[in-house]
Structure 1
Amino acid sequence: MKNCTIGAILLPVFCVFTNAQSLKSPDGKFEMNFQLKQGVPYYNLTYNKTPVIEDSRLGLRLFNNNTVQFAPEIRKPEDVQYDLSDRFTITAEKRDAKKETWQPVLGEKKNYINHYNELAITLNQASTDRHIIIRFRLFDDGLGFRYEFPQQKNLNYFIIKEEDTEFDFPTDMKAWWIVADYDSQEYPSQTTKISEIPARWSYGVDKHSSQTLVKDAVQSPLMLKKEGKDPLYMNIAEAAVLNYPASNLEVDIKNFKFKTHLTPDKNGAKGYIQTSSVTPWRTVIVSPKAEVVLDSKMLFNLNEPTRYKDTSYIHPTKYMGVWWEMIIGKSQWAYGEPKTNVHIDGTDFTKLIPNGKHGANNIKVKEYIDFAAENGFNGLLVEGWNIGWEDWIGHSKEFVFDFTTPYPDFDIEKLNEYAHSKGIKLIMHHETSGSATNYERWADKAFQLMNQYGYDAVKTGYVGDIIPRSEHHFSQWMINHFYRIAEKANEYKIMVNSHESVRPGGESRTYPNWVSAESARGTEHEAFLGNNPDHQTILPFTRWMGGSMDYTPGIFQTRLDYYFPGDKRFVKTTLAKQLALYVVMYMPVQMAADLPENYRKHMDAFQFIKDVAADWDDTKILSAEPGDYIITARKAKGTENWFVGGITDENKRSYTVDFSFLDKDRTYEATFYEDGKDADYISNPQSYRIYKKLINSKSKINFNMARSGGFAVSVKPVK
């Protein structure tokens, strides 16, 4: 609020700003209050007048702008004067509102609605003659806010020591989380109270090829639930992470408080800023219904529209891959013997002794092409096609791949010609082994090769420690690297599906050719240490909040002792749940990950994978509870076809689908895929039942899901 007095003669306007401002959501249910307490900025948030976030501090700590020293720097007392966290006065406020409808290039719905009220508060720090802006946007599903740094005389360049944004909750809550790390997001999900996170934290840690843990902290998106008579679901995340490091969340278990913890480089700096500049948006999504949180598109709305002039080359992709057989150990990426010392620019790979298990060979790739073409797929990923895999990992080797030279048994020209003759495009694989500098050096030649042979999509990978060696996977330099690759790929009309990259925060609105990412614990971990049965019921509430994931489902042969007698590894789902994942998990780049031989044994079930869409006009979250179950219905892009998927955790569960979302004047033929009566993810995972039935909008069908089971439904109008 502000009070203004008008002079009697010249009519100048003098405005005195109070230390408290408020903002309401368009529907009036949310209210955000901002205030200064002795010059320190705080905000809080209420929903229907119930406190959601109590007074929480805002601000940033900076390094001394004139005496930056590159080492783990010891904070000097005089550095405090450079912080942007206190000694503020409010000098201006600006309000705005917006309601728009926009169309994602690929998305869960044809139209996304962006509706918010906005308050931008200018804070002046008189002691340093600097000012910043904190911009708040309040939607009908929660709050987004960010810091903005206008260019000015005393704020041109600075280095961030830490961002101290807080989320102070009124009470202990149930939390779904993974451990914090600067280099990996592929950890098993944990479920505890906020107050129990430190006690449980070590149980959420396992070994990764690159790993820098942040003790007792967690990653975002973080899913929370206030339990009791009036439950409330909340999600903390970040959006539009550009030219800034990704963040983790420190935990204060006594006060049920979280605080941002930015990813540093290995010198300890967390952001090199040149004004004018902005931070990512900090987001809090809130609803009494879990389904509303899961359906939120706030993170996408907080990103800018794309500047790409041409997006016509971006399309959904259903693909298979020469991949799972390497993951389980049946084949290898390398052509020669693993651990052989090879030089990309010196070794004659035609003279290596073949190991006999190289997966990306001409004969096998043609077999995959044939099966993919016979069953209506449009892409085939081939990993291990290029030289260098013999000593690719664990050596901090910068020139590890050239992304252009195939192994002797992979004829890139003839295999692409063969694939194109069958209506298939090969999907390129660019594993970098973490050597981002090398990838940037070779990117143009690598993408030119793709254009030459008709590839339009690449899967990138960043397994291992990052080069430059001063960086982490999620530090500022690497964030910028991921976008440089996306922009470079756009120059060549190439789509990117990144693995071991930063989790998305809705940036696909701006970079629509970055169509998918891994950035979480996917199916491959079923062949490593495994995924718990509740894993897939948590990921959509956490990892998926800001964008699609290449989860690589579709494993029909779930027990690996089928290949290796005595092997105790197994995929912890039923076959029917694998089908349901194609609907529950949004994947515009959608893989059928198993081996062709396993699909041939279950062609009736495989039909659902063949039929299911990968891009959508509408999505309805029918019912959901994080960690327990999710039931989702989606309408295929440009058709009247619907698909429904339901999954459960380690508990059996029944659910009745109400098909009232269908058009009222039509009859549909529905094909049902569900767990068999004796199905169980451990003892009988391949037990399933398939049947057809005519239904309409009045139909209600009950499904019984086995432990870690599910169901899938294909619904098509009767002509």
Structure 2
Amino acid sequence: MTRPLLTLAAALLALPGLAQRLHSPSHKLALQFGLSPAGEPTYQLSYGNRPVLKPSRLGVAVQGQSGFAQGLTVVRIDSTQHDDTWQPVWGEVKSIRNHYRELLVTLQQPGPEQRQVQVRFRLFDDGLGFRYEWPRQPNLQYFTVTGEQTEFNLPADHKAFWIPGDYDSNEYAYTTSRLSQVDSSPIKAIEQKSAPQRVQTPLMLKSADGLYVNIHEAALVNYPAMMLNVNPQTFGLTAQLVPSATGAAAYLQAPEHTPWRTVVVADNAPAILASKLILNLNEPSQLPETSWIRPQKFVGVWWEMHVNRSSWNYSDASNLKLADTDWQALKPHGHHGANTANVKRYIDFAAQHGLQSVLVEGWNVGWEDWAGNWKEEVFDFVTSYPDFNVAELQQYAAAKGVKLIMHHETSGSVTNYERRQDRALDFMKAHGYDAVKTGYVGRIIPRGEHHDGQWMVNHYNRTAQHMAQRQIMVDMHESVRPTGLHRTYPNWLANEAARGNEFNAWSEGNPPEHETILPFTRLMGGPMDYTPGIFRLQLESWNPERNKGRQVHTTLAKQLALYVTMYSPLQMAADLPEAYEQHPDAFQFIKDVAVDWDDTRILQAEPGEYLTIARQAKGSREWYLGAITDEQARQQTVKLDFLPAGQKYQAIIYADAKGASWDKNPEAYQIRRQTVDRKTTLKLPLAPGGGAAVSLKPLGAN
């Protein structure tokens, strides 16, 4: 419920420098709002007696007028408090408490037009959210935002876990450094080179005295993503909005508001991961009925292309035109992965092992000429290659009780995809597909727009809405990083939007620390389709000539643990069937582990070092546990006191074997069983780059 706390009228608030203070519900955090002598709105945040943010300016620059950054007066302050509990359609916990105190400050420009902006603050015990709002008013209708003055001024030179502020890609390995040392200039850009001191959110920070701070945003709608410019001398961060093709940031019409800027704060790392602040700042589900949304595990014709066993394209032809090419007449090169017989092999494997779906990439014409040419029409999303029989595979999968997942790669040509999307979704529904993986590899069309700009943000959101209307689930790759919108559109199961497991197949790979950082950064905004479960970790055996020296930088046991530590309701068993057939005992964990949860406990965590999480399966007494480490070997001592009293469990422990390591002996693992209860303490040895996975299944009632 929401109830007012106070309202202060304009006569009391026109005084320069007047400060307004707000405490979180349990008084863990304190917010102070004020105006500078120049009429600049400012705020600061403290955790107990420890500063989180020093006085930091607020404001929005608007094209063709004075903007909303200085010369402002306060005309009204309202304060309320709110406390309720809601249930997500799927997620890491069964229910979420939404408890905050709110401050709404109405500010007014000088002059006769008296344009107003409101700053709405919501202060939780685990952090702060705030946004700018423009109410309906006679002298502000259409306006163009050129930037923000929003600052996050830190009190010291914190340790930071960051990637470059690239407008077109999040697919970087993380750098750990002090804020004063942020410099992305030596890092090879993937798409759009970043300014050296610009970083992306979510940005994870740790102070010298053990305060953890995470800066991101929530509910990114009709606005560009926020990056952060770092001042290495003052340790201040300033919002940098991704520009549009015109150079402006956002085109708005009042009434309107920005996304929430979020600051999650705790004095321990597990509390950062347990925070639901970003979800709480998103709107409730907009879908009237959600029974058709099904968290699931899947396999797919995918990894075999990354390890050069097959290809996406059907032929070696080039310079093809979508509308004019006779695809039936093309000469096949003989190693096209998405052929009917091969897809049936994956369907059989999924059916045998109780996996719900099969993803197929490379099924549709156009892959001969899909990347790097900034080409408008590459795919039509309905025409299959001659060796992929859509109707036959539909019938075959249905007979086996398996669903097929559609793949829509746009090659960055989003205008083409939007023109063809209705027909593509009609095609999906006609052939039994109820989930789709979209992709946005390459430079965006309309030319000049960025992956993370307002135009593309609106596309991603429209696509999620459009697919919800057709009862289609969606997994987006190469998209803007998520901001909790899966609460509003729960058919939006996952995103990639970071450097995934695939990078191990065709680059220098992901360092062993990578998976210990991602939960504190990318996953703060929502689930990631990381594609875990690689068992054949040294990749030369798939193709010795093209995969020389390449390997996944984890142990096999760590790949199992990722199903617990890297949360997603859509989890892929990413390796080839034959890799799993060589290790059926280890594959059992992938078959067993849940993808939807009633409870989550963050047992141990430190960004860049280690992570241990336990989760209770939805509607079940079963628990699953994952523990991972960076390149350092560790022994994690794990208390099972989260188990119910009076109940014994069989623990099946999948652990690194003696002598295992990510680089020398990655596939060495051991499996042991023991009876446990809530008084048991497990000792889990983690090899360098390693991990452990544990299934906990209740024994007979006691």
What TM bracket, shorter-length normalisation?
Answer: over 0.9
Q: Match of 1:369?
A: 347
- Inter-CA distance 3–103: structure 2 relative to 1 (3 Å threshold): closer
Which residue of 543, 567, 571 maps to 1:564?
543
Q: Match of 2:33?
A: 34
Q: Is 2:124 the counterpart of 1:146?
A: no
Q: Alpha-carbon deviations, 1:382-436, whole Å to 9, x = none?
A: 0000011110111111111110111100001111110111111000000000111
Q: Is 2:162 the counterpart of 1:162?
A: no
Report the CA distance between 1:16 and its aligned residue. Answer: 4.6
Tell me the distance in 2 between the aligned counterparts of 1:42 and 1:55. Answer: 6
Q: Secondary structure at the residue paired with 2:197?
A: strand
Q: Is the 8 A contact 2:384 2:390 kept in 1?
A: yes
Q: Match of 1:314?
A: 293
Q: Match of 2:224?
A: 245
Which residue of 231, 236, 246 maps to 1:267?
246
Q: Match of 2:457?
A: 479
- Inter-CA distance 687–136: structure 2 relative to 1 (3 Å threshold): same
Q: Is the 8 A contact 1:182 1:214 kept in 2?
A: no
Tell me the distance in 1 between the aligned counterparts of 2:202 and 2:295. Answer: 25
Q: Is the 8 A contact 1:381 1:429 kept in 2?
A: yes
Q: Is the 8 A contact 1:508 1:515 kept in 2?
A: yes
Report the CA distance between 1:565 and its aligned residue. Answer: 2.6
Tell me the distance in 2 between the aligned counterparts of 1:506 and 1:196. Answer: 30
- Inter-CA distance 354–306: structure 2 relative to 1 (3 Å threshold): same
Q: Match of 2:605?
A: 624
Q: Secondary structure at the residue paired with 1:503?
A: coil
Q: Which amino acid aligns with 1:501?
A: S
Tell me the distance in 1 between the aligned counterparts of 2:170 and 2:185. Answer: 15
Q: Is 2:413 the counterpart of 1:435?
A: yes
Tell me the distance in 2 between the aligned counterparts of 1:465 and 1:505. Answer: 23
Q: Under a length normalisation based on structure 2, what TM-score does the superposition of the two structures give?
A: 0.97
Q: Match of 1:290?
A: 269
Report the CA distance between 1:703 and its aligned residue. Answer: 0.9
Which residue of 539, 556, 572 maps to 1:591?
572
Q: Match of 1:195?
A: 180
Which residue of 106, 109, 114 maps to 2:93?
109
Q: Match of 1:349?
A: 327
- Inter-CA distance 3–554: structure 2 relative to 1 (3 Å threshold): closer
Report the CA distance between 1:153 and its aligned residue. Answer: 1.9
Which residue of 521, 526, 547 maps to 2:526?
547
- Inter-CA distance 3–574: structure 2 relative to 1 (3 Å threshold): closer
Report the CA distance between 1:84 and its aligned residue. Answer: 1.2
Which residue of 433, 438, 441 maps to 1:463?
441
Q: Match of 1:77?
A: none
Which residue of 656, 673, 677 maps to 2:658?
677
Q: After the TM superposition, which of the residue ranges 520-529 and 493-502 deviates more from structure 2?
A: 520-529
* Unaligned stretches of 5+ residues in structure 2: none
Tell me the distance in 2 between the aligned counterparts of 1:24 and 1:130. Answer: 29
Q: Match of 2:302?
A: 323
RMSD (Å), alpha carbons? 1.4
Q: Is 2:56 the counterpart of 1:56?
A: yes
Q: Is the 8 A contact 1:168 1:257 kept in 2?
A: yes
Q: Secondary structure at the residue paired with 1:243?
A: coil
Q: Which amino acid aligns with 2:22?
A: L
Tell me the distance in 1 between the aligned counterparts of 2:597 and 2:504. Answer: 28
Tell me the distance in 1 between the aligned counterparts of 2:48 and 2:291. Answer: 44
Tell me the distance in 1 between the aligned counterparts of 2:189 and 2:593. Answer: 35
Report the CA distance between 1:49 and its aligned residue. Answer: 2.1
* Unaligned stretches of 5+ residues in structure 1: 6-12, 65-80
Q: Which amino acid aligns with 1:574?
A: T
Q: Is 2:376 the counterpart of 1:398?
A: yes
Report the CA distance between 1:14 and its aligned residue. Answer: 5.6
Q: Which amino acid aligns with 2:198?
A: A
Q: Is 2:517 the counterpart of 1:517?
A: no
Tell me the distance in 2 between the aligned counterparts of 1:4 and 1:537. Answer: 46
Tell me the distance in 1 between the aligned counterparts of 2:108 and 2:55. Answer: 21
Q: Match of 2:71?
A: 87
Q: Is 2:374 the counterpart of 1:413?
A: no
Sequence identity percentage? 52
Q: Match of 1:491?
A: 469
Tell me the distance in 2 between the aligned counterparts of 1:243 and 1:14. Answer: 35
Q: Match of 2:280?
A: 301
Report the CA distance between 1:158 and its aligned residue. Answer: 1.1
Q: Match of 2:402?
A: 424
Tell me the distance in 1 between the aligned counterparts of 2:577 and 2:416. Answer: 35
Q: Under a length normalisation based on structure 1, what TM-score does the superposition of the two structures give?
A: 0.94
Q: Match of 2:699?
A: 718
Tell me the distance in 2 between the aligned counterparts of 1:14 and 1:645. Answer: 57
Q: Match of 1:646?
A: 627
Q: Match of 1:72?
A: none
Q: Which amino acid aligns with 1:85?
A: A
Tell me the distance in 2 between the aligned counterparts of 1:215 and 1:84. Answer: 28
Q: Match of 1:8?
A: none
Report the CA distance between 1:202 and its aligned residue. Answer: 2.9
Q: Which amino acid aligns with 1:423?
A: G
Q: Is 2:225 the counterpart of 1:226?
A: no
Tell me the distance in 1 between the aligned counterparts of 2:402 and 2:319. Answer: 35
Report the CA distance between 1:3 and its aligned residue. Answer: 11
Runs of 4+ in 1 over 6 A off after TM superposition: 1-5
Report the CA distance between 1:150 and its aligned residue. Answer: 1.1
Tell me the distance in 1 between the aligned counterparts of 2:195 and 2:26. Answer: 39
Q: Match of 1:172?
A: 157
Tell me the distance in 2 between the aligned counterparts of 1:157 and 1:35. Answer: 28
Q: Is the 8 A contact 2:536 2:575 kept in 1?
A: yes
Tell me the distance in 1 between the aligned counterparts of 2:95 and 2:586. Answer: 32
Tell me the distance in 1 between the aligned counterparts of 2:132 and 2:235. Answer: 24
Q: Is the 8 A contact 1:2 1:15 kept in 2?
A: no
Report the CA distance between 1:527 and its aligned residue. Answer: 1.1
Q: Match of 1:9?
A: none
